[in-house]
A = this chain, B = another copy of it.
């Protein structure tokens, strides 16, 4: 694979740079540290699209006052095991961890906790929240909507975000199963990579601006849409649409956020929807205390057995065989925590530019 040239930076350097950046825009220190931690973890886990590469868009939004650096999130409605949380238009990286902590706290108290969040912004990687729940003996569910990019099944235009879902299950001796995936057939980043290489994209990834299936990256980029998981009718594209719709309703309709095509943009270059049907975007967090269902050690032993059983599956010929969800990210983390985070030139230039804005030299 022709990976673009990159330079490696220690994770701690990137994290501290993010902290300074958020502080510069008036984010309180505790919040800045949490936000930076979520971004740093994405880079460590190899999810480059959701790490410091995205700092630029946060800076843009903070500069224009489109994100509130000092939000006062509040509980709008509450029951012993649920809450609706208004993020006061703060960074999703700040609001998300608070709402997730509330779900976990409720699960620790009464067995399960579910929190739907409105008036928030991009929250980083969905898996971060599920991993936090593990620290408290809970299974953590995390979902968010996002700016429209995906067509519903048999639709020809962008109507839904990539609406990811995450959940994690702890092992005893084995590392946890970490499920974290977008409900689209592919990631937008893969379309961009194909464009950079001048190659076609597979059938089933996207439609063009007329809603017609396309194998040209630019067909999708210039006003087209990604397809939902399952792609076309033959491979059950309606199921990917079902998943994205579920995420959309739990995150947005349940909380009072902007659903579907009305999700506000994350970045300056994206159009602002003509209609608003709620406040900000939405997240949805759930936590289930393992001990409320079964002995926690017994659960973890069974997960170890599950992992080993599935690893031992007879492989599909010509493939590397079955990997457990979370394996690739854990391997990236093992490498990157030692050898640093590889950043490509455009990202480094963005960070240097941010350094000039906040009066701090990037990379030192």
Residues of A within 8 A of B (CB): 77-84, 110-114, 116, 139, 151-157, 159, 167, 169, 177, 179, 181-183, 185-186, 202, 204-205, 207, 210-213, 229-231, 233-236, 238-243, 245-246, 248-250, 253-256, 259-261, 277-278, 288-290, 292-294, 298-299, 302-303, 305-306, 309-310, 313-317, 319-323, 325
Contacts and interface: CB of A to CB of B under 8 A. Distances in A.
Contacts of A260: 306, 309-310
- What's the number of copies of this chain in the assembled complex? 2
A154 B202 contact: no
Given A169-B253, A236-B186, A321 B289 contact: no
Given A253-B306, A293-B82, A242 B181 contact: yes
A70 to B, nearest CB: 26
Given A293-B82, A317-B211, A239 B245 contact: no
Contacts of A235: 185-186, 202, 204-205, 229-231, 235
Contact of A181 (B207, B213, B239, B302): B239
A163 to B, nearest CB: 12
A157 B185 CA distance: 24
A116 B185 contact: no
Chain A interface mostly = mixed
Given A249-B303, A306-B260, A325-B245, A288 B82 contact: yes
Query: Which one of A210, A211, A255 has the greatest number of beta carbons of chain B within 10 Å?
Result: A211
Contact of A229 (B82, B210, B240): B240
A30 to B, nearest CB: 27
A154 B289 contact: no
Nearest to A242: B179
Contact of A313 (B159, B239, B248, B303): B159
